[in-house]
């Protein structure tokens, strides 16, 4: 599909286009290809989405089963949801306000699958990805500056060698102010390190044997919330 546009686009929605394999936007009167909101849903013939030329404020891509690769240029907010076959994501922008990766069963984190040329993320939410097992060091592919991290419904593989045993150890050292961890499976150790931490919520994590927190533990909200959290743990806890 070839679409000619006179100026910037406020909202572009592509929904239920069963025969559409690709699209191209040509901006006639502007050198900047600005799209305020891009919404793609239920377009089963899309395979590769090449969005590098466009300046996108908000992108929501969901329920398109054959999408394998998504490549962004300048973008502020990204939501990828219910994409059964996506295996590669590339983003080349300075700062992301929001990155949501939700229900991506075959998306893993390795050098071939993800390329984030991003210096800062305000809000990161990852839920139900890599159902065959998530490497516990997957956060190394993200920038050091992430204000809010939420991880939910994830199963980790044992990829960390300790005392001749392989375990899964999650390291959260991203200068975050807020961390939420829910229903994380097969995880042995959690290490949290951030001088800016003011909110920490941990629920439904079975099998944890070691929890280390090096952060602003004396902050009022963090202490109040965390007292209830640690009372439910039968584990070795270190607070710094």
C-alpha 143: how far from its chain's center?
11
Strands 160-162 and 165-167: antiparallel
Provide DSSP, 128-166: EE-TT-B-TTGGGGS-SEEEEEEEEEEEB---EEETTEE
CB atoms within 10 A of CB 56: 22
Lowest mean pLDDT among 89-103, 196-210, 222-236: 222-236
User: With 50 as the cut, is the pLDDT of residue 231 above it?
Assistant: no
Where do the domains of the chain lie?
A: 2-239
In the predicted model, is pLDDT for residue 174 greater than 50? yes
The answer, yes or no, to whether residue 69 has pLDDT greater than 50, is yes
CA distance 33 to 44: 25
**Separation between Cα atoms, residue 203 and residue 184, nearest integer Å:** 9
Tell me the two tokens of residue 30: 């502007």
Q: Alpha carbon 32 to chain centroid distance? A: 27
């Amino acid at each position: 599909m070839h679409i000619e546009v006179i100026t910037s686009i406020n909202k572009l929605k592509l929904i239920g286009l069963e025969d559409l394999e690709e699209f191209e936007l040509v901006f006639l009167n502007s050198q900047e290809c600005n799209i305020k909101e891009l919404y793609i849903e239920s377009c089963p013939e899309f395979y590769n989405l090449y969005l590098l030329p466009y300046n996108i404020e908000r992108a929501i891509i969901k329920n398109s089963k054959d999408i394998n690769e998504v490549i962004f240029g300048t973008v502020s907010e990204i939501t990828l949801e219910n994409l059964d076959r996506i295996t590669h994501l590339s983003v080349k922008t300075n700062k992301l306000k929001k990155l949501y990766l939700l229900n991506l069963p075959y998306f893993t984190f390795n050098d071939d699958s993800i390329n984030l040329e991003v210096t800062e993320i305000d809000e990161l939410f990852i839920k139900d990805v890599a159902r065959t097992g998530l490497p516990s060091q997957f956060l190394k592919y993200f920038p050091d500056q992430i204000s809010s991290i939420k991880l939910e419904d994830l199963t980790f593989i044992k990829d960390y060698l300790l005392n001749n045993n392989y375990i899964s150890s999650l390291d959260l050292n991203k200068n975050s102010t807020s961390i939420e961890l829910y229903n994380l499976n097969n995880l042995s150790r959690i290490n949290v390190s951030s001088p800016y931490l003011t909110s920490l919520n941990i629920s439904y994590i079975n099998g944890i044997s070691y929890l280390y927190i090096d952060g602003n533990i004396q902050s009022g909200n963090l202490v109040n919330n965390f007292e209830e959290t640690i009372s439910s743990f039968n584990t070795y806890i270190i607070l710094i």
